Chains A and B, each alone.
Chain A
């Protein structure tokens, strides 16, 4: 639902509520017609009192959670990305079980925002060579793209690029850093 539609509906409901409030509140239901009563056409009954229409509760605030994402700039979105990275084992470009779960969640996000186009960046840790890692990162990015496509995301919305070991997320030289740096990183490139 676009922001515009929300505003129109909101305005309409305010109008409706305003009109209803002109009548005093009467909750009396229309009594059932007495048995054996003459046809209504013979003696027209007085018009039934208007039923007051009112929200059961005050209007909820406009939902902001989704739009907080949709309205943010690409830079802001990517700085605190709604997409989680997919991590890989050493020298591997295969999605393991946790990796598939993350990719599935990311696919749901892509279905929710069908205008978004993303780039999947393949990254490697420093334990591979600079040259080979360019190819390994490409394999990681393509593996994620293939999996997203298998979940119904159009391949046209997914670009891939490998950065090898050029842009480590963690500058450290230990297992924890390497684990963080072997990843497919999602970047929203247009929306």
Chain B
């Protein structure tokens, strides 16, 4: 089966699932149909502003259109026709007014038509995706909810269009956690004049940033639980690094290691039941495993050198990490049972923060010293080949994969201060996610 056939089969499957969820009789024209572009080129999408059906929804309508355009552009499966070229196209007030000929003249293969109506703080969003050539609606859906975050409607629509048209798991509703000094608070009761760093989360595009710790201390290296409801992180609130797990939607804090020893860099196992982390509890930085509640502690590495920066394989059977046991920091892999240790990187002078990609990709991204600073490189586990995806613009560190494996977020100093950027795994499609303060150690949610 070719890739294209897989896409078709999956799209058909997705369509039948949608049909099952909506018992209403399905119009023949509503059956999921993949819109294609001219041979050899991606389909060209137009996403104009949504139509405001109530006077107080004009701002929301513009936001949803703009964000949907950005979300659909992000995966680079479609060519998004720039919005500033739509001025000559007559505005349709209803689905039967869509000016197909004008859109076709602009070169589009697909156009989104959406409306938004507001009642108090509630909104109703309707959206259709039209195939310009057949003039048929291939995707039609209604959403209701709060007017507080109109971007969420765009993110949801984008994920569903990617799923239907490309059998692709979009990431528009995912979030990125990171450590930031943007509040510019100073440490309480310290002898030094030092900046506080707190843990923040934001949408994958940087919008809706929210602080989730308020300890006015150093808080670093957040990671998401697989269900994206908890964040484990390193905090200095005890005066030394220790692990905390914030159940961010409940406002509850778990303390699996409970103080007394120094622990940092937690990472949830893919099933969320275990945490691997670095600890100096036995005198030297080593890797340890424990259950999420802190029970079942087990030491994973035993070496007088530094062992740190662990990451899980997607199956939870192996752990990649950094060790300087050969004299410089290099990436190694060890079984989750502590056996079968092997060295991965051999051509780097310094490599750290391995991050294992999700399936279907089988690769490990890491930060490699390439000069005065670092660049992001990717090690292909199947071939053993390494490719570089950043090239000396600032220092680039701390890679983390999007849950669909197609993008990485990382820290870069290319604009001056330390900021979070996202980039395709092919090194294309750079986007800046944060702009306020210094922002570090990103983690991408499922």
Residue ranges of A at the interface with B (Cβ–Cβ < 8 Å): 74-75, 78-79, 91, 119, 126-132, 134-136, 138-139, 142, 159-163, 166-167, 187
Contacts and interface: CB of A to CB of B under 8 A. Distances in A.
B159 interface: no
B191, B197, B241, B283 pick with most chain A CB within 10 angstroms = B191
B197 A139 contact: no
A106 to B, nearest CB: 16
B363 interface: no
B259 to A, nearest CB: 13
A163 B187 CA distance: 14
B367 A129 contact: yes
Interface in B181-203: 191-192, 194, 197
A139 to B, nearest CB: 6
Contacts of A128: 350, 352
B172 interface: no
B192 A78 contact: yes
Contact of B441 (A131, A138, A163, A187): A131
Given A135-B285, A159-B240, A187-B191, A129 B353 contact: yes
B352 A129 contact: yes
B180 to A, nearest CB: 12
5 contacts: A127-B372, A128-B350, A130-B411, A138-B285, A142-B283
Given A132-B329, A134-B265, A161 B220 contact: no
Contacts of B329: 91, 129, 132
A139 B329 CA distance: 14
Nearest to A75: B191
A166 B218 contact: yes
B264 interface: yes
Contacts of A187: 191-192
Contacts, number: 88
Most buried by B among A139, A159, A160, A187: A139
The 9 A-B residue pairs whose C-beta atoms are closest, nearest first, are: A78-B191, A135-B285, A129-B352, A135-B308, A132-B352, A135-B306, A161-B240, A131-B309, A131-B353
Contacts of B296: none
Given A79-B191, A130-B398, A166 B220 contact: yes
B191 A132 contact: no
Interface in B356-375: 367, 369, 372-374
Interface in B391-446: 395, 397-398, 411, 440-441
B16 interface: no
B191 A134 contact: no
Contact of B218 (A74, A160, A163): A163
B328 to A, nearest CB: 7
A128 B221 CA distance: 16
Given A74-B191, A127-B373, A162-B241, 20 more contacts: A75-B191, A91-B329, A128-B350, A129-B374, A130-B440, A131-B308, A131-B398, A132-B306, A132-B309, A134-B278, A136-B306, A138-B262, A138-B280, A139-B306, A142-B283, A160-B240, A161-B236, A166-B197, A167-B194, A187-B191
Contacts of B398: 129-131
Contacts of A134: 220, 234, 241, 264-265, 278, 308
Contacts of B372: 127
A159 B241 CA distance: 12
A24 B354 CA distance: 90
B390 interface: no
A142 to B, nearest CB: 7
Contacts of A132: 306, 308-309, 322, 329, 352-353
A34 to B, nearest CB: 75
Contact of B397 (A75, A79, A129): A129
B413 to A, nearest CB: 9
B421 to A, nearest CB: 15
B260 interface: no
Give the one of A136, A138, A160, A162 with max B CB within 10 A: A138
Contacts of B251: none
A77 B303 CA distance: 38
B25 interface: no
Contacts of A135: 278, 285, 306, 308
Contacts of B308: 131-132, 134-135
A145 B431 CA distance: 44
B40 interface: no
A167 to B, nearest CB: 5
A161 B239 contact: yes
Interface in B90-119: none
Contact of B352 (A74, A126, A131, A167): A131
A167 B192 contact: yes
B388 to A, nearest CB: 16
Contacts of B411: 130
A166 B352 CA distance: 17
B397 A130 contact: yes
A119 B191 CA distance: 12
Contacts of A126: 395
B297 to A, nearest CB: 19
A162 B411 CA distance: 21
